[in-house]
Amino acid sequence: MKKIRNFLHNLALKQKRSVVITTASVLVAVTGVTAVYAVNKSDAANTADNKSTNTQASSNPVVAVVGEDNFSIAGNNVSNNSWPGVIISPSNLQIQPEREGAIVEWSVRVGEQVRAGQVLGKLSRPPQTLDVVMAFSEKYGELLEARTDVVALRAYTKKRISQLKELRKDTENSNKKKTNLIELKTPVNNADLLSGIAAEKENARVVLYESLVKTFPIAYGQADVPTSPELIDNFSLRTAIGSKDQNLRDGFNALIRNVLTDLADINKVPEKSAMIYFDNAIKLANASTVDGTVLTAANISTFKMNLISSQMLFVGMLSKIKVMELEIADIGRTSIDTSAEIDAMISEVKKDLAMAEGKTVAMEATYNTVKAASTGNYPMVAPKSGIISSIMKRPGEFVGPGMPVAVVTTEGSDDILVRMRIPSNIQKPKVGESLSIVRPGFKTDIQQAKLVGVGISLDETGSYVADAVFTESIKWAIGASVRVLAPVNQTVFIKPSSVFINEEGSPAVWAVSEADRIFAKKVTLGRTLGNSLEVYTGLVNGDRYITNPKSDIRENMFLVDITVVSPESNDAESDDSEDHSNM
């Protein structure tokens, strides 16, 4: 019995321990679930906070620096712009037959030296179709018409030139007669012949001298005029002459000296000294007084009237001389202009004849070409001297009109060009800019070239055709395809979220000065490439600008006056968010 009681007692103890252990396990499990729930709830809250923070940071203004962000397109770490191109050579001339046919033979081999006009090979004779016969007949008819026109034009040109030369001769004779009518020959002392102008000049000198002859007896009381200008200093004016104006009296002898000096030169009309003399002599008469003996009122009046009459006569002669000189000059100019016009007409007639003769020669060549092509094998000739660098078609192969069949490389030039097509939706590079040229499959072999020309109109692909020359000699194959990389500094790239439209309706960004002041800067935008926006003008590498600008940003604000998130903090918060979400 005792053993049975011990067994039951032990069993009871074991059941109690089992209940305690089970209870403890349940408590631990409940606690763990609660803890896990609390942790997960905390993580979810943190993740939500981080997302809210990141959303807020991404919409906040950020100061960025032009050129520091990597906007490169995948696979192109040199430039965001590249264009297709091909290597060409201005010294490579393609042989392109004008009509279709089969290659009959080649008379030359690759590497052979040829001269201009040399026959390189022949095409087969075309079938005598109606089109060929009509083309041959048409060229022949045009040639006959051109020949007839040239014959008629030669006869007309000869006659017209003769008429124009006769017209020039008649014009020159007519102008000469007009000049002779003005330059009338007048006998002087029955010896010399003076022209009408010279006669008028001599008459003017006579009028002036006669005025001196009339003036001296009254003004100086002397009957003769001094024979030499220096002798006038030995003469004195009468006391009553010009007594009212001593300055006139004191300077009158000097005036007479100037007139006598000019009269001593027989080739000169003393226009200036004579006009001064007449003006002052009349003033002198007005300033004179009656002396009661020689100078009476009548004498002074006669003295003044003689001076005025001589002055008017002298002035009239001077005017007539001027008119005659201008008329002769005008006749000379007219004669020169008329002769020039006639010479120009003669040159024009000769040019028309030369052009007609040249056209006939060209039509002769065209006719002979058509004739040879229609009645026999078509010869393919070298356009210039050089070396046969390539033969593309073998005898028996059919070729169409304009199809290249061979290449002649001219001598004395090994220059090659890069001909490229620049898309029309980008900013065209400027002539003189440096470009990088690379061949597909040779990424490390980058050569530099300088842009020498850009087309102004679009080709059939909607691109601008441009040419560039290599800065150093290269040995790339003619016809090789290349990629042209645009200059890296040609444009800059910014984030699209930084652009706003200003009051003028133009795109702009909020730039940041060195003093941390904010100001609006207009920009010229290009293409949108991925997450970047191309800027042609307005910004350069190193400029600071604000992305995600708020509407409350104003001109001249300080950077500290707005809420700005740096790019580094933005990235750090984004990284933290990703770490929490992965836990």
pLDDT along the chain (583 residues), means of 10: 47 44 37 37 42 45 78 44 82 82 90 90 75 75 87 88 84 69 46 59 88 88 85 87 90 90 85 90 89 80 89 88 76 77 87 88 80 70 87 90 86 71 79 88 88 79 85 79 76 86 91 91 83 84 88 86 58 48 44
- Tell me the backbone φ, ψ of residue 501, rounded to 5 degrees: -100, 125
Q: What is the pLDDT of residue 30?
A: 33
What is the Cα–Cα distance from 409 to 79, expressed in whole angstroms? 35
What is the Cα–Cα distance from 564 to 549, expressed in whole angstroms? 10
What is the Cα–Cα distance from 228 to 346, expressed in whole angstroms? 60
Among left, alpha and beta (phi > 0; psi -120 to 50; other), residue 189 is left
What is the Cα–Cα distance from 582 to 573, expressed in whole angstroms? 14
Structure tokens at 28: 């631990």
Q: Judging by beta carbons within 10 Å of its beta carbon (0-12, 13-18, 19+), is residue 553 exposed, middle or buried?
A: middle
Contacts of 347 (CB under 8 A, 6+ apart): none
* Residue 2 CA to its chain's centroid (Å): 129
Q: What is the pLDDT of residue 70?
A: 57
Q: Which helix (H) or strand (E) holds 27?
A: helix 2-59
| CB contact at 8 A, 493 and 71 | yes
What is the Cα–Cα distance from 264 to 189, expressed in whole angstroms? 19
Count CA atoms closer than 13 A to 463's CA, side-chain side: 13
What is the Cα–Cα distance from 180 to 185, expressed in whole angstroms? 8
Alpha-carbon separation of residue 432 from 425, 453, 467, 473, 540 (angstroms)? 21, 8, 11, 18, 20
End-to-end CA distance of the chain: 63
Query: What SS3 state is found at 147?
Result: helix
Max CA pair span of the chain:
207
Query: What SS3 state is found at 515?
Result: coil
What is the Cα–Cα distance from 484 to 448, expressed in whole angstroms? 10
Domain locations along the chain: 1-60, 61-72+492-564, 82-90+415-485, 125-376
Q: What is the pLDDT of residue 60?
A: 62
Q: What is the pLDDT of residue 296?
A: 83
What is the Cα–Cα distance from 75 to 438, expressed in whole angstroms? 14
Query: What SS3 state is found at 351?
Result: helix
What is the Cα–Cα distance from 138 to 367, expressed in whole angstroms? 9
Alpha-carbon separation of residue 243 from 226, 240, 285 (angstroms)? 23, 5, 9
Query: What SS3 state is found at 98?
Result: coil
Q: What is the pLDDT of residue 500?
A: 92
Q: What is the pLDDT of residue 108?
A: 94
What is the Cα–Cα distance from 307 to 315, expressed in whole angstroms? 12
- Tell me the backbone φ, ψ of residue 475, rounded to 5 degrees: -120, 35
What does the DSSP assignment read for 439-451? ETTEEEEEEEEEE
Q: What is the pLDDT of residue 511?
A: 93
**CATH code for the structural domain at 61-72+492-564:** 2.40.420.20
Length of the chain equals 583
| CB contact at 8 A, 464 and 455 | yes
The fold of 82-90+415-485 is Elongation Factor Tu (Ef-tu); domain 3 (2.40.30)
Q: What is the pTM of this model?
A: 0.33
